[in-house]
A and B are shown apart, each in its own frame.
Chain A
Amino acid sequence: MENKKNFNVTFYLLIIPVLLWLVILIVLPHIDLLISSFQVDSDAGGKIFSFEHYMAFFKNKIYWLTFVNTAAYAIGVTILAFIVTFPIAFYLTKVISKKYASFLVLLLLIPLWVGELVTVYGWMIILGDHGVVNQFLIYIGLIDKPLPLLYTNFSMTIGLLYMSMLFMVVPIMSTLESLDDSLIEAASDLGASKWTIFRKIIIPYSMPGITSGAIIVFMLVIGDYVAPDILGGKSSLWFTEQIYNEFLATFNWGEGAAFGFLLLFISSSIIWLTLKLSGQKLERVGS
């Protein structure tokens, strides 16, 4: 009994800082924002309950179109991230020896140590009018004047892809690692072509990894602010920028909060719907 009591005291001592952190810095502000998203100033000067902030999203075309644009780009970047990283993950787990693989994985991780803002500025140096790409193309005589690469949807997509693709590689690698080579051989022995093996064996087997990677990438991209703001052009409206404007440009905190919760709710719904449609289960995704 005495032992158990000691354990309990230690347990609470250890859990209290975490709980304080979560409650004070995350739960309470969220509750506060949630409340203010449902409040408008009344004529009498007080606050009254209202759906007005939420209605503003649906009433103004520019708001929900921005959201649709953002979501579409986020889905696009997620698909691109899968296309770009799957061969990398396959190569690192199935083709080269373990010895080199761990070194190459380390190289993959390096951009993550730098921080998103720095990598975004890196891309500005690469893609700008006087950047590496344009200068090189001019030097070899392919073009006369710089291509408008920066401040476009293209540069924004590159930036988003670059910061998020690592989160696709890692979960896919972990599922591919557990894929026994003999499954591939068995399929080949039963008459399957390389393409069929890829479609019927490798992809279905790594589906849990792909799904969890896709969820992370989608969430990171749809909620990202830096890459769209810095690398995107005037036409690259991102929903997070909309939220930023509500808080800091128009000081409409209620509407900003409402948009924030809409982003959380709608993007979660998109994920839920995708999981439903593809017959995946969230519990299986983590493993």
Chain B
Amino acid sequence: MNKILEIKNLTKSFKDFTAVKDVNFDVDEGGFFSILGPSGCGKTTLLRMISGFIKESQGEILIKGESMSGIPPEKRPVNIVFQNLALFPMMNVKENIAFGLKRQKINKSEIEERVADMLARVGLEGFEKKKVTELSGGQRQRVAIARSLVMKPSILLLDEPLGALDRKLREHMKIELKLLQKELGTTFIYITHDQSEALVMSDKVAVMNKGRFEQIDTPRNLYKNPKTAFVAGFVGESNRFELKSSDDGLLVTQKGWKLEKPNLDFKTEILYIRPEAFILAPSDNLININRFKVLIKTILFDGSNTKVSAIVTSSGDELLISLPQNARFEDIEEGDEVQVGINYENLKCY
């Protein structure tokens, strides 16, 4: 795979703090790359450096192998979809999309053709003459994406573009965006604080925290094998425990819950367990497993995502356990005592 974007030791310092610290990564051509992080982690600063709106303090940005240092935003082969979309309110849909093409002195008939083609791709045929203020949130979204994509950028940067949409529309646009990216083959770099957006759409996700990349991985690996405590806590749901001790492969929580974790070769203080890692009523022949009893406190019904909140009988530690989607546990009730198991490998220690 060709590397379309290479970021080398990129750093951005402002007067009194460093927003981006020594970040390195590559993006494959045609990939969907997400940068996931909480607000204020420096992801927007990173995006604005790639697009050229702010100058890096140190490091290098290469697009298609060419250094971007000193090249202004209007000359870079990247386009950006802004968080607030930034559609031009005094222009109609067609004028908005044609704006960039007109700047390139492309002849009129080709502009017409490319705008019409782009409108068809985003499903807005017949909207040419509409004012952008008359469009719904989802339609405005598509106009913003079309306006950038019509420029045929090497990389499309998206700065939390779904943030302003309501939940239902956001779910829908997520799928649509992914399909559009597949169809066009344009490289997308997508910035978000919403882990589900990042996991669903991306080929690769970088988790960013306090100006640094914690882990760059496929969504599956990120979820299965988080490399740092931050990733484990930020991506997906987790039960988090602070440990009193972890000597001799025995983890002890603050409240005194004891769990075996053989072959642990480092001292650990924090333990993460995914809610779906628990096995309810494990059969006796399973090995490499911790067994304990819990008391069901409440059932948090949410369709296929139903969980129970439970208390470990021996110590009083609270747990969130996913309920498997089969009829076997349908009649589980508050106050029941249930045998639960957890595999050694699903105890993630940091």
Contacts and interface: CB of A to CB of B under 8 A. Distances in A.
Given A190-B103, A190-B151, A185 B82 contact: yes
B75 to A, nearest CB: 8
B103 A192 contact: yes
Contacts of A196: 103
Given A180-B84, A186-B80, A205-B90, A191 B53 contact: no
Most buried by A among B72, B74, B78, B147: B74
Interface residues of B, number: 23
B191 to A, nearest CB: 14
Contact of A192 (B51, B90, B99, B148): B99
Given A189-B51, A190-B79, A193-B74, A183 B88 contact: yes
B158 to A, nearest CB: 12
A187 interface: yes
A196 B74 CA distance: 12
A22 to B, nearest CB: 37
Interface string B76-114: 001110111010111000000001100110000000000
Contacts of B86: 180, 182-183, 185-186
A204 B103 CA distance: 17
Contact size range, A: 10 to 19
Contact of A182 (B72, B82, B90, B104): B82
A204 B90 contact: yes
Nearest to B79: A189
A177 to B, nearest CB: 15
A178 to B, nearest CB: 10
A166 interface: no
Interface string A201-240: 1001101000000000000000000000000000000000
A188 B71 CA distance: 12
A180 B84 CA distance: 9
A201 B82 CA distance: 16
Contacts of A187: 88, 99
B73 interface: yes
Nearest to A205: B90
A182 B103 CA distance: 18
Contacts of B73: 185, 188-189
Given A182-B82, A189-B73, A207-B90, 10 more contacts: A180-B84, A185-B82, A189-B51, A189-B148, A190-B103, A191-B100, A191-B104, A193-B103, A205-B89, A205-B90
Interface of A: 180, 182-183, 185-193, 196, 200-201, 204-205, 207
Interface of B: 51, 53, 72-75, 78-80, 82-84, 86, 88-90, 99-100, 103-104, 147-148, 151
